[in-house]
Each structure stands twice: as C-alpha cells, then as structure tokens.
Amino acid sequence: MKKFFLPVTKTYVQHWTIEEAVRELLQNAIDAETEDPQNKKRISFSGKHDNWTITIESELSKLSLRTLLLGGGTKSNNQELIGKFGEGYKLAVLVFLRLGHKLTIKNGKENWNFKFEFNQDFEEEILTLEITESKRKTDIGLSFVVDGITAEERATIEVSSLFFDKYEVVHTAKGDLVEGSVQAFVGGLATHSLNCIKADGLEYSFNYRPKDVALDRDRRSLTDAYSSYSQERVARIMEELPSNVFYRIMTSKALETNGLYNFEGYFRKDTLKRLRKHLVDQTFLVDDNNLNQFIRHDDDFYESYVIVQASHDRIAQLKQDTSNLIVSNISERVAKCLDTHLQESIVEHKAAEYRQQDIDRLLNDSNLAADIIKWIKENYADVDESALFSLIALFKLPDSQTDTIKDLIRNLKEIL
C-alpha cells in the first residue's frame, strides 16, 4: 500500500455542497470525452430509497500521481473545456468525505481511497490517500464511486446537469435551449447564474458552449452573465432554433426575462424581418375592445411595423390612415424591438431611393466612375468590378467629390 498526505484540511471550500462536488467529477468526465471522443463517459445511479451510489466513469482515463498537485492538470489552455483551475477532483473528494460519503476511485489496476487522518507534523487532520492494488486486469479506465447518496441529494444532482433527462433540450450549433430551468448551463452543467426567458408560463434557460462564456473560480456563476456579450450569445442561440420553437417564444403575449434584459436587441436584421413576416402572416383584424399591441401596414414601404400600447384615439386615427390595420398579441418588449428596427428599415429604404438617383448621375460621369473603380481595385483587389456599383449604391454620393467618396468607401471595409 502506498500512502500520500495532501496538506488540505476538511474546512477548505466550506461553502461547497454535494452539487459542486459532483459537478467537478462530471466536468472531468465531459472534458476527457471532449479531448478524446473515444473516451466515453458513463454516469449512473444504483441503489434504492434513501441510499444511492453514483458512479462517474471515463473509459480510457487514468489518474497519475501528478494530478494530486494543485495546478498539476493539463486543461488550462483548451477553450473547449469547462475546467480551467486545476484543483478539480481533489476538492470534490474533500467535500464528499466532509459530508460523510464513502468515495472510491477505481484507477486502472489501482484503488484510490481517501480519508481524513491526523498528521503529527501539521497537528491537524488532513486529506490522506491510500493506494492499493485491485484485481482488475486492465490498466486504463477511471471510475469515481460515491456511496451513501440520499434521495434529496440525488434530486439535487439530477437537476444540476443535463445528463439525467430532467429537462427538454433543443440543441443548436450555437448552444442549447433548456425548457424548465432558470439557471444558465455551461457544457451541460448548471451554474448559479439566472439567465432565463419566461413565455406563456414556461421557463427557458440556455446551455452555453464553454468557449463562449467565462466562469468564476468555483464555476458557480457566469462572470459576464448580465453583459451585452451574454445577451448576444442568447440571440445567436435563439436564431438557430427551429422556426416553430422560435416563433412560439417570441410571439408570447407575456414575454419576461431574468438576467436577459435586451437579448432581442441583438437579433440580426434578417431575423427581425423573418419574425415580422411571421407576425403579419398570423395576424387578424383589429378588435377595438381587446387591443394592446397591433401591426400597421405602410402602403408606401410594403412592410409592417408595430405600434405599442396604442390608445383608442390613436387606433381611430390610424384607421383613417389605412385600411390594413391588423392585430397581434405579442409582448410589449418584442413589439418595441420590431418597431424600432422597422423604422430604421424604412429610413434606409427611403434613403436608397435618393441614392439611386445619385448612382444614375454617377454613371453619366464616366471620369468620376472610372476614378472610383480604379481606387477600389487598387485597395481591394479581390472585389470584382461588377460588384462595385452595387457597393457604391449603399451610400449617398456627393457630386464630383472623389476624396469624400473614397472616405465613405473606406467605411465599408467590413462589408468588403
């Protein structure tokens, strides 16, 4: 038998519960499979009533003695992984023991058994590891076996990750929509950050990709949970959802959020246009007795935009302006978002009409046109000539002011 002393007392990370401890082991199994897809993870419960055992396995993993060192891990530079701090399973072991659970690590042909033992040098009970040989024939494979899990603890563990089928999950390439939770998830593991949408009485949170978010040291919370970056991540996930799911949430009459104050403001323009078209297709005639939000058709622009919380006097006025008044029961925040975007679209549309007049004038000034084309091709050689006039049409051109035109084109660098 080999014996090792780790200078860690049982009071370390005293705020951790069994949820944090299991999350550490799950995170290790997830990360191992991310690094090597052949290294499959398996997570299971066995037992009954108020005495359960959880087993977390990685088929091809094996712990080295180096992993006992704080900072001895190898994952800190991989953005696809959840773990970044290196303390990992040692803290999970400590918490399990402090809570009175028996833990065995089946590490290849060895069994690793931890306990608290009084150490004369430190004059304190510290974490102690005893390694014994097992009868297993294979030298690879890693299993964490935790005994004595109560029914309440099992319930806590199951709702803290997406691996026990407790939630309805819609997967996308940008992250996942999780129905039935208010907590944000990262890589399938719950955090304590509230990032959720409530629509028609249902709650939806999000499972972020590890590379898209930052976690605090304990991996309990998103460090940027309320930032514009977080709002944008949610917008990207929402845009990837199947249309029926996206429309069901976004057209809810009562759309509320927690920690996501303006995610709809980060939708791409084509997303807002698609949502607006869906609303137009689904609307019905105005009922003066039951109207909070409605959509008005603009004959000049051939689009629809949203007016929010209109008074009956305003409704009457609009009815005089157009016969195409239609209603949609959507939330005020979505209505405002669509209204703002459509007003911007109308301005762009009107401006484009004037720009086209300038383009027509430009085409009649062959010297100016040739000068612009020559300058663009010198600076952006990969832009073909046939696209240049379409590009120029994106802004209003002043007469014969080549330098000004060049400055404007420089501002289109991102488009190019």
Structurally, the chain folds into a number of domains equal to 4
30 and 117 housed in the same domain: yes
pLDDT of residue 172: 96
Same-domain status, 198 and 242 = yes
Mean pLDDT calculated for residue range 269-278:
86
pLDDT, position 414: 44
In a domain, 340, yes or no: yes
Sign of the alpha-carbon dihedral angle for 71, 77, 82, 84 = positive
Tell me what pLDDT residue 53 has: 96
For residue 277, tell me if it sits in a domain. Answer: no
Distance of CA 35 to the CA centre of its chain: 21
Beta bridge partners of 53: 46
Percent of the chain exceeding pLDDT 90 equals 31
pLDDT at 377: 61
Q: Is 45 within 8 Å of 154 (Cβ atoms)?
A: yes
Which of the four pLDDT bands, split at 50, 70 and 90, describes residue 240?
Answer: very high
Q: With 0-12 CB in 10 A as exposed, 13-18 as middle and 19+ as buried, what is 414?
A: exposed
Q: Looking at the structure, do residues 294 and 210 belong to the same domain, yes or no? A: no
- Taking 90 as the threshold, does the pLDDT of residue 244 lie above it? yes
Encode pLDDT of 369-405 as tens digits: 566 666 666 665 565 555 555 555 544 444 445 555 5
| Domain residue limits at 381 | 365-410
pLDDT in tens, 123-155: 889 999 999 998 888 888 999 999 999 999 999
Indicate whether 96 belongs to any domain.
yes
Quote the percentage of the chain above a pLDDT of 70: 66
Q: Where are the alpha helices (DSSP H) in 251-331?
A: 269-282, 312-321
Task: State how far the alpha carbon of 388 is from the alpha carbons of 209, 374, 399, 409, in Å.
Answer: 39, 10, 18, 10
CATH of the domain at 85: 3.30.565
Q: Does residue 403 lie in a domain region?
A: yes
Of 136, 159, 182, which closes a domain? Answer: 159
Do 248 and 304 belong together in one domain? no
What is the Cα–Cα distance from 48 to 42, expressed in whole angstroms?
A: 19
Is the residue at 358 inside a domain?
no
Question: What is residue 78's predicted lDDT score, i.e. its pLDDT?
Answer: 53
Q: Does 146 or 68 have the greater pLDDT score?
A: 146
Verify that 254 and 173 share a domain, yes or no: yes
Do residues 127 and 193 both lie within one domain? no
Helix locations, 283-397, DSSP H: 312-321, 332-363, 366-379, 388-392
Judge if 152 and 10 occupy the same domain: yes
Q: Both 261 and 312 in a single domain?
A: no
pLDDT band of residue 366 (cuts 50, 70, 90) is low
Q: Across the strands, what pairs with 113?
A: 104, 130
Q: Smallest Cα–Cα separation from 260: which of 307, 224, 293?
A: 224
Condensed to tens digits (0 to 9), the pLDDT of residues 349-363 reads: 666 666 556 555 655
In a domain, 389, yes or no: yes
Start-to-end C-alpha separation, the chain: 67
Assess contact for 409 and 390: CB atoms under 8 A.
no
Distance of CA 263 to the CA centre of its chain: 11
Say if residue 223 is in the same domain as residue 318. Answer: no
Contacts of 139 (CB under 8 A, 6+ apart): 62, 108, 109
Considering the domain architecture, whether residues 132 and 24 belong to the same structural domain is answered as yes
In a domain, 275, yes or no: no
| Residues 12-61: tens digit of each pLDDT | 988 889 998 998 899 889 888 888 899 999 999 999 889 999 999 999 98
Task: Examine residue 274 and state whether it is found in any structural domain, yes or no.
Answer: no
The pLDDT assigned to 105 comes to: 93
- pLDDT (tens digit, 9 = 90+) per residue, 211-226? 888 877 766 777 776 6
Which of 240, 266, 292 is the endpoint of a domain?
Answer: 266
Same domain, 106 and 227: no
As a whole number, the mean pLDDT across the chain is: 77
- N residues, the chain: 416
| Confidence band of 103 (pLDDT split at 50, 70, 90) | very high
Across-strand partners of 129?
Answer: 4, 114
Residue where a domain stops, chosen among 108, 128, 159: 159
**Residue type, position 184, single letter:** A
Same domain membership, residue 321 and residue 241: no
